[in-house]
């Protein structure tokens, strides 16, 4: 198992694993925390490890629900590309207010608004591809 001294490596592996899954699943994926921790070779999901995971996801514009990440590795977490259409839907569902109620009603009626996030998503994909080529 990796420890805190191996932090940079497991964080890189975690981000790579999540990025690949999000790219293959249109920007949203649900993971069991055990799956993530086992794939990147870390041990116990202590408070510090979860904070490092959250920081890494935040730096890569990856949202997570629940927030903060749960302590138990048997729980599931939904990860999603921030700024995407699915992120706006997830945000509308978990943010309890009238404005988001209206967004959900619009979505349910088939009139979800489009915006500039598609361009941002394309730029992010290009950057990820270029990063992998280096």
pLDDT in tens, 50-104: 999 999 999 999 999 999 999 999 999 999 999 888 998 999 999 999 999 998 8
Q: Which residues are within 8 A (CB) of 103 and not within 5 positions of it... i.e. 6 or more apart?
A: 88, 92
Phi/psi at 112 (5° precision): -70, 130
Q: What is the pTM of this model?
A: 0.75
Q: What's residue 66's pLDDT?
A: 96
Q: What's residue 127's pLDDT?
A: 73
User: Which 3 state secondary structure label does DSSP give 115?
Assistant: coil
User: Which 3 state secondary structure label does DSSP give 30?
Assistant: strand
Q: What's residue 1's pLDDT?
A: 46
User: Which 3 state secondary structure label does DSSP give 64?
Assistant: strand
- For residue 114, give the H/E element and its range: none
CA distance 5 to 28: 30
**Are 77 and 70 contacting, i.e. CB atoms less than 8 angstroms apart?**
yes
**Are 36 and 17 contacting, i.e. CB atoms less than 8 angstroms apart?**
yes
Alpha-helical regions (H) of 1-134: 7-24, 33-40, 47-59, 85-94, 98-108, 117-133
CA distance 10 to 134: 19
């Amino acid at each position: 198992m990796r420890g805190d001294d191996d932090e940079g490596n497991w964080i890189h592996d975690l981000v790579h694993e999540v990025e690949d899954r999000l790219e293959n699943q249109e920007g949203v994926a649900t993971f069991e925390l055990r799956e993530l921790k086992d794939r990147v070779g870390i041990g116990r999901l202590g408070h510090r490890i979860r904070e490092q995971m959250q920081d890494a996801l935040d730096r890569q514009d990856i949202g997570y629900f629940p927030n903060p990440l749960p302590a138990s590795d048997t729980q599931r977490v939904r990860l999603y590309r921030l700024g995407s259409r699915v992120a706006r839907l997830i945000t509308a569902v978990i943010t309890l207010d009238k404005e988001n109620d209206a967004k959900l009603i619009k979505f349910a009626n088939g009139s979800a608004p489009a915006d500039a996030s598609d361009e941002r998503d394309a730029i992010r994909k290009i950057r990820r591809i270029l990063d992998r080529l280096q």
